[in-house]
Structure 1
């Protein structure tokens, strides 16, 4: 059954706990600190293996957002980013893998 995951949980999962050991502005070799806790598309693009999607799930406005997908833990995870500004992550929608896992 599709569900929306907490953005905080998604950010912790994707960035990992090591990024929280130091503070913003510190660089010890490749870390990407989240400015104000915002997970942007730039950080996602560089750090998460994914595929670009031509369309997002139907509940999201295609004029406002774009989507990317990852596969992990037998789930298809759709990451929804805003076109505006620094392109922040707005939502993560997950689907169980199966015959109809991408209904959009």
Structure 2
């Protein structure tokens, strides 16, 4: 790519960054007024959305299922070890 195009691309990127920063700076006071009118406080956390609640429920279920699976595997291992011990005692 020509050096001129590389330079133009660089400066366009910088111009976009500056434009974004300028728009953000200009809209900050308006954003504050809108939040005051609507009653949104920056310090309060929003209520969890339905998706967030479902994801939390699924995480709890996943943890519970994982715990139950671990218990089942441990129980099966105990039964196998007991069976093998009982089987070895009979063959003697």
Question: TM-score, normalization: structure 1?
Answer: 0.17
Q: Which has the higher helix share?
A: 2
Larger CA Rg, structure 1 vs 2: 2
Q: Which has the higher strand share?
A: 1
